[in-house]
Copies of this chain bind each other. A is one copy, B any other.
C-alpha cells in the first residue's frame, strides 16, 4: 500500500514538546493570575452558526472565516476570535451567570489569513474580561492583571500604555473631523510606526486638507505635553485617576504611560484602551492589548452589557521570553531520569520511581534495559536535571549513583532510610 505523506496544512503547525512545554507553563501562569483576581473560566464551541459569528452581514473578517455546511445542512463556521462567542455566551446565559461577570477564556481560533505575512491560520487566544460594570475599578484591575502576569514570567522592562477612545473622538469633534473618524483614528494609531509626516500624509489621503491634519497632530502633541482643552479634561481626569489607582496598588510609575497615540484598530472600543510594549523588543509589538466597550452583545440581546478586557498575545510573549532567555532549556517534564538495566530488579525500579513520585519528585524510568551510555545519552538529550543509576551492586548495597547532568558530577547516596522510604539524603539532593 502506498504511504500517505505525513504533513500539516499550510498555516498550521504541530507543537513539539519544546514548544508545548513553555506554552503550557505560560498558560498556567496566566490562569493563576486570572484566578487570583476572581476571573472564572468558560469555554464555548469551536463551531458556531455562521450568522452568530458574522453578525448576519459581516465584512472584512468574513474572507478569513472557515465556513461550511454541516451534514445537517446548517451553515457553520469556526470561531475567529473569543470576543464574538463571549457576546453570544453572555446574551444566552446572562441570567444564570449574574453580573458583574469576570471571565477568562483560553482557546484556539482559526483565520484563513495570508500566510505570506508569517501568520498562522490556527492560534490560541487568551482573553479576560469584566462584563456588566462601568466602574473604573475594573479598568484598573485589567491593567494590574497585565502587570502581574508579565512580572510572574520574569519580564521587568515594559510599559503599559493607556489612552481613552473618547479622548481622541472628542479631540476629533473639536477639530471638526466629524467624518471618517474610524479611519482617522487608525491613522493616529500608526504614529509610532510611520511618524508625524506619515500620519499627516495618511489623513490627507482620506480627503482632508493638509493644514487641518497638521493642526490635529499639533493638538495631539500639545495634549500630551499637558495642554488643557475643556472638552477633554473630564476624560483625562478619569484616565489619570485610573493611572493613579494602578500606581497606588503598587505598580512602579514608569510602567504606566498615558499615550494619546494609542487608538486600537477595533471599532468596538469606546473608553479606555491599552497596549503593552516590551522595552528593547519593539518589533514584537504589543503583547497584551484591550479596552473598554459600551455594549458587548447588542447583536444578540437588548440588555446593555458594558465591560472591559484584554487579550494576551501568547505567541508574542513566548517569542519575547525566548529573546530574553526566560524559557527553560529543557524538554523534560520530570526532573529525574531513572536508568534501567537490571531486569531482575524491574519491580525495585518501579517501586523506587513510585516512592519518589509519592514524595513529589517526578521520575521517568527508561523502559528498556539498554546500555547505560545509550540511556544517559537519551537523558541528556531530553534535558533531565538528574540521572539515578542502580545496578546489581547498588541494589545489593542499598546505594545509588546520582548524576547531576548539568555539572556532570556523581554522588553515591543511600537509596532508602530506616523507614524504608527514599532516604532523606536522596530527597534533599533531588529537591
- A contact face: mostly helix, strand, loop, or mixed: mixed
A98 near B378 (CB under 8 angstroms)?
yes
A401 interface residue per 8 A CB criterion: no
How distant is A43 from chain B, measured CB to nearest CB, in Å?
A: 4
A178 interface residue per 8 A CB criterion: no
A36 interface residue per 8 A CB criterion: yes
Q: Digit string of A325-365 for contact with B (CB within 8 Å is 1, else 0)? A: 00000011110010010000011111101110110001111
B-chain residues with CB within 8 Å of residue A141 when the two chains form the complex = 350, 365, 367
Q: How far is the CA of A106 from the CA of B35 in the complex (A)?
A: 21
Q: What is the chain B residue whose CB lies nearest that of A21?
A: B41
A209 interface residue per 8 A CB criterion: no
B-chain residues with CB within 8 Å of residue A89 when the two chains form the complex = 6, 14
Q: What is the chain B residue whose CB lies nearest that of A360?
A: B36
B-chain residues with CB within 8 Å of residue A72 when the two chains form the complex = 10
How distant is A321 from chain B, measured CB to nearest CB, in Å?
A: 17
A88 interface residue per 8 A CB criterion: yes
B-chain residues with CB within 8 Å of residue A230 when the two chains form the complex = none
A40 near B331 (CB under 8 angstroms)?
yes
A415 interface residue per 8 A CB criterion: no
B-chain residues with CB within 8 Å of residue A24 when the two chains form the complex = 31, 41
A276 interface residue per 8 A CB criterion: no
With known contacts A4-B52, A98-B381, A135-B368, A333–B9 Cβ distance under 8 A: no
Q: What is the chain B residue whose CB lies nearest that of A104?
A: B333
A361-378, CB < 8 A from B: 362-368, 378
A60 interface residue per 8 A CB criterion: no
B-chain residues with CB within 8 Å of residue A92 when the two chains form the complex = 6-8, 14
A177 interface residue per 8 A CB criterion: no
B-chain residues with CB within 8 Å of residue A42 when the two chains form the complex = 14-17, 20
A112 interface residue per 8 A CB criterion: yes
How distant is A380 from chain B, measured CB to nearest CB, in Å?
A: 11
Q: How far is the CA of A299 from the CA of B7 in the complex (A)?
A: 12
* Cβ-defined partner of A9 (8 Å) among B17, B48, B110: B48
Count of chain A residues near B, Cβ 8 A: 112
Q: What is the chain B residue whose CB lies nearest that of A102?
A: B364
A93 near B16 (CB under 8 angstroms)?
yes
* Cβ-defined partner of A300 (8 Å) among B6, B13, B93, B353: B6
B74 near A9 (CB under 8 angstroms)?
yes
Q: How far is the CA of A299 from the CA of B5 in the complex (A)?
A: 9
Q: What is the chain B residue whose CB lies nearest that of A67?
A: B68
B357 near A148 (CB under 8 angstroms)?
yes
Q: How far is the CA of A130 from the CA of B368 in the complex (A)?
A: 12
B3 near A35 (CB under 8 angstroms)?
no
B-chain residues with CB within 8 Å of residue A17 when the two chains form the complex = 40-42, 97, 103
B-chain residues with CB within 8 Å of residue A52 when the two chains form the complex = 4, 6-7
A8-41, CB < 8 A from B: 8-10, 12-17, 20-21, 23-24, 28, 31, 34-41
B-chain residues with CB within 8 Å of residue A100 when the two chains form the complex = 366-368
A302 interface residue per 8 A CB criterion: yes
Q: What is the chain B residue whose CB lies nearest that of A297?
A: B6
How distant is A39 from chain B, measured CB to nearest CB, in Å?
A: 7
A214 interface residue per 8 A CB criterion: no
* Cβ-defined partner of A3 (8 Å) among B10, B74, B302, B358: B302
With known contacts A48-B9, A350-B249, A37–B364 Cβ distance under 8 A: yes
B47 near A133 (CB under 8 angstroms)?
no
B41 near A20 (CB under 8 angstroms)?
yes
Q: How far is the CA of A40 from the CA of B384 in the complex (A)?
A: 12
A255-295, CB < 8 A from B: none
The 4 closest A-B pairs by CB, nearest first: A38-B364, A68-B68, A248-B347, A35-B333
Known: A21-B41, A249-B353. 8 other contacts (CB 8 A): A7-B49, A15-B42, A20-B43, A66-B70, A135-B367, A137-B349, A245-B346, A249-B351
